[in-house]
């Protein structure tokens, strides 16, 4: 009788182990499925997407064109305000620059935290262009560029600039970039 109870306890223990193994196997299968889906989705990414797309965006195009037109007139070529504003907008003073933070690699997937070095000035069209490039979706006429890695918005601060002549915003973002290491 004792021997049967001991065998029964051992059998129940084995059944519990088999159940736990089945659960672990299902979790493993789901993880593999998710990992394969991620790799298939992001296998052909541009590893320099941030440099090629976000950091190279030309912002406030209508204002730049208007300032160039005004500055080309001889009466305004001595105007320092027009000259300084045009230089800021065309010589990189209003471009996104991201600094890399924490970097982790796990199971062949790299994750990098990116923080904008300084706020940038944008208009509503620029905002659509940036969000389309970051989120990977079409917004109005803006179509997302090809080669986008997985980008997760970690922080997003948008504040309206108070100017009577134009509607602009200051934008500062923190992103997490994930990609498959080959």
Number of structural domains in the chain = 2
- CA pair distance 176, 113, nearest whole angstrom: 5
Q: Is residue 170 part of a domain?
A: yes
Q: Is residue 89 part of a domain?
A: no
Domain span holding position 126: 49-59+94-180
- In a 13 Å sphere around the CA of 49, the CA atoms on its Cβ side amount to 25
pTM: 0.78
Q: Is residue 151 part of a domain?
A: yes
Q: Is residue 82 part of a domain?
A: no
Q: Is residue 54 part of a domain?
A: yes
CATH of the domain at 173: 3.30.70
| 126 lies in the same domain as 163 | yes
| 28 lies in the same domain as 54 | no
| 33 lies in the same domain as 100 | no
Q: Is residue 125 part of a domain?
A: yes
| 115 lies in the same domain as 152 | yes
Structure confidence by residue, pLDDT tens digits, 38-73 = 777 788 889 899 999 999 999 999 999 998 998 898
Structure confidence by residue, pLDDT tens digits, 89-132 = 998 899 999 999 999 998 888 999 999 999 999 999 999 999 99
- CA pair distance 182, 148, nearest whole angstrom: 16
Q: Is residue 23 part of a domain?
A: yes
The dihedral built from the CA positions of residue 106, 130, 116 and 94, taken in this order, carries a sign that is: positive
Structure confidence by residue, pLDDT tens digits, 122-163 = 999 999 999 999 999 999 999 999 999 999 999 999 999 877
Q: Is residue 27 part of a domain?
A: yes
């Amino acid at each position: 009788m004792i021997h049967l109870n001991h065998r029964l306890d051992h059998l129940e223990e084995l059944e519990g182990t088999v159940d736990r193994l089945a659960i672990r196997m299902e979790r493993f299968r789901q993880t593999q499925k998710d990992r394969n889906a991620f790799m298939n989705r992001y296998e052909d990414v541009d590893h320099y997407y941030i440099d090629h797309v976000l950091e190279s965006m030309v912002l406030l195009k209508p204002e730049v064109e208007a300032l160039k037109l005004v500055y080309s007139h001889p009466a305004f070529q001595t105007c320092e305000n027009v000259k300084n504003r045009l230089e800021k907008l065309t010589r990189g003073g209003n471009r996104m620059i991201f600094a890399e933070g924490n970097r982790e690699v796990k199971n062949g997937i790299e994750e990098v935290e990116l923080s904008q070095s300084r706020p940038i000035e944008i208009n509503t069209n620029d905002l659509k262009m940036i969000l389309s490039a970051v989120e990977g979706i079409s917004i109005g006429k803006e179509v997302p560029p090809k080669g986008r890695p997985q980008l997760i918005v970690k922080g997003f601060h948008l504040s309206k600039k108070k100017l009577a002549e134009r509607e602009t915003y200051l934008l500062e973002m923190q992103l997490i970039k994930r990609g498959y290491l080959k």
